[in-house]
A = this chain, B = another copy of it.
Amino acid sequence: MKNLRVLFARRPQGLPVTGDFALDEAPVPAAGEGEFLSRTLWLSLDPYYRNVMKGSQIYADRLEPGMPMVGETVAQVVESRHPGFSAGDFVAVRNGWQSWAVSNGTGVRKLDPAMAPFSTALGVLGMPGLTGYAGLVYLGEPKPGQTVVVSAATGPVGCTVGQVARLVGARAVGIAGSDEKCAYAVQELGFAACVNHRRGDLKASLAAACPDGVDVYFDNVGGDTLAAVLGRLALGARIVLCGMIEAYSMDAPPPGPFLGPVVGARATMKGLVVYDWLHKADEQRRVVSAWIREGRFRWREDVTDGLEHAPEAFCRLMRGGNFGKALVRVAPETASS
C-alpha cells in the first residue's frame, strides 16, 4: 500500500497548469506516540492555494518545490496512538494533497455524521462557509430589505453569503459566470436576481438588478467586477474584500478600481481574512446546519474522482470552470471501514 501524493513542482506562471504539479508515491507513514494515521476521503480545492504557490505572506502555509501540496481534507482515522481519536473517526484535518497522512491532532475537528454530509466540512460548514457567514454578518452587516451583492455566487462562499442574506431578510443579488449558474442561484438558492458577468454590459445589468443601489458587496473576485459594483453603491455601503482570484495568478499586482465612488457613497471597504473569525465557527455551524436540516439552505458540489486528477481540477477552478464547491473524492467514504 502506497501513499499517493501530489507535489508542488514549480511556481506557476499566470494561470496554473498541470505541469506545475507532480504525482508521487511514498510509503504510508506510521503514527507515532500521540499521533494518528488517517486516510483522506475528500480534498478541498480552494483558489487561495494559488496564492500560497507564489509565496504570499497572508497564509500560515509555506510551500517549497517538492513538498506535498497543502490543503483541507476530510479523512477517516485508521490507526490512533492519540487519546482523543479512535480508528473509524471521521475528521476534518489538513492532510494536504495525499491519500494518507499522520496528524498530532492540532486543529483537527471530529465530524458528527448527524450534522450534515462529511464533504460539507470543506464547504458550507467549513472554511468557505465561515468566510461567507462571518464576513457577511460581522463585516457586511446587512439590514432587512437591503441589497446584498455577491460575486462567485454559486461557490461555497457565495452561496453562503446569498442564502444568509436572504435568511436575515435582505435581498440577495448574485454575480456568476454562466446562465446556468445564474439560473441555479435564483431557482435553487433563492437569490432575487443573478447577473452573468460574461454576457452583456455588467454595469447595466447591475443597475437593473439593484434599482436601489448596493448596500453590501461581498467581493470574491476583484478586478472589473469590483469596479462595476462600486458604480452602484448605495449611501453608506459596506464592501467586504475577500478574494481577488484574477490577481492570484499574477506575479505583479494589477491596478485596482478608482476609489472616488467609495468617497461619494461614504462607503466602507473591509479586508476579510477568515482566520480572524475562527471564534465564530461554532456559531456558524450551529446556525447553518439548522437551516440545512430545515431545508432552507442548499449548496452544490463539483466533484472530481481520484487524487491523480486534482491538478487538472484545480486548474479548471482557477479558470472559473467549476460549478459549486470544488472537491476531489480521494477515497470512497465506505472504503476504510
Interface residues of A (CB under 8 A from B): 57-58, 222, 226, 241-242, 244, 247, 253-260, 262-273, 276
Contact = CB atoms under 8 A, between A and B. Distances in A.
Contacts of A258: 247, 253-256
30 contacts: A57-B264, A222-B259, A241-B259, A241-B262, A242-B263, A244-B263, A247-B258, A253-B258, A253-B260, A254-B258, A255-B255, A255-B256, A255-B257, A256-B256, A256-B258, A256-B259, A259-B269, A259-B271, A262-B271, A263-B273, A264-B273, A266-B270, A266-B272, A266-B273, A267-B270, A267-B271, A268-B268, A268-B269, A268-B271, A269-B269
Cβ-closest 7 pairs across A and B? A255-B255, A253-B258, A263-B271, A269-B269, A262-B271, A256-B256, A256-B259
Classify the interface of chain A: helix, strand, loop or mixed. loop
A131 to B, nearest CB: 12
Contacts of A272: 263, 266
Given A253-B258, A257-B255, A268 B270 contact: yes
B253 A256 contact: no
A265 B259 contact: no
Contact of A241 (B254, B256, B263): B263
B255 A58 contact: no
This chain: copies in complex: 2
A276 B22 CA distance: 57
Contacts of A257: 255-256, 259
A258 to B, nearest CB: 4
A226 B260 CA distance: 13
Nearest to A272: B263
Given A58-B263, A263-B271, 17 more contacts: A226-B259, A242-B263, A244-B260, A244-B263, A253-B260, A255-B255, A255-B257, A256-B258, A259-B271, A262-B269, A262-B271, A264-B273, A265-B271, A266-B271, A267-B271, A268-B268, A268-B271
A50 to B, nearest CB: 13
A56 to B, nearest CB: 8
Nearest to A262: B271
